[in-house]
Amino acid sequence: MQTNSASVTGTVSYLPRIAMPPSAILEVTLVDVSRADAPAIILASQGAIFGDRQVPIPFELVYDPGQIDPRFSYAVQARIIVEGQLRFITTTRFPVITQGNPTEVEVRVDLVSQ
């Protein structure tokens, strides 16, 4: 970890009992979701290939605490991509860091309708 950094950690999982192929990609991001009328600002991201792993998959998002405003809202978002197609995505907010929210979170992603 760099000198002036902090992290959000946790796991990503989903409910259907579906095994992901080794080439599936998990993308996890820490975003500023304070403004409802603007796109979320990405503060940190992590991408990982599933390989021989299955859910839950751990993650660590390292960020600069100087970018955090205690008045703002932050969340973790995740998605799983298989062969270039979005298969799973967060559909609910997983708040972190400020306003009494944790820095460790269990993120659930939901199956995308095909």
16: domain CATH number is 2.60.40.2990
Q: What is the pLDDT, as a whole number, of residue 68?
A: 96
Give the domain extent around 72: 6-111
Query: What counts of helices (H) and strands (E) characterise the chain?
Result: 0, 9
pTM, to two decimals? 0.91
Q: Parallel, antiparallel, or unpaired for β 57-63 and 6-13?
A: antiparallel
Number of domains in the chain: 1
Q: Is residue 96 part of a domain?
A: yes
Asked if residue 70 belongs to a domain, the reply is yes
- The owner of tokens 């860091």 is 97
- Residue 58 belongs to a domain: yes
Tell me whether residue 1 is in a domain. no
SS3 23: coil
Low-confidence ranges of the chain (pLDDT < 50): 1-2
Please tell me the predicted confidence (pLDDT) of residue 1.
45
Token representation of residue 90? 């967060």
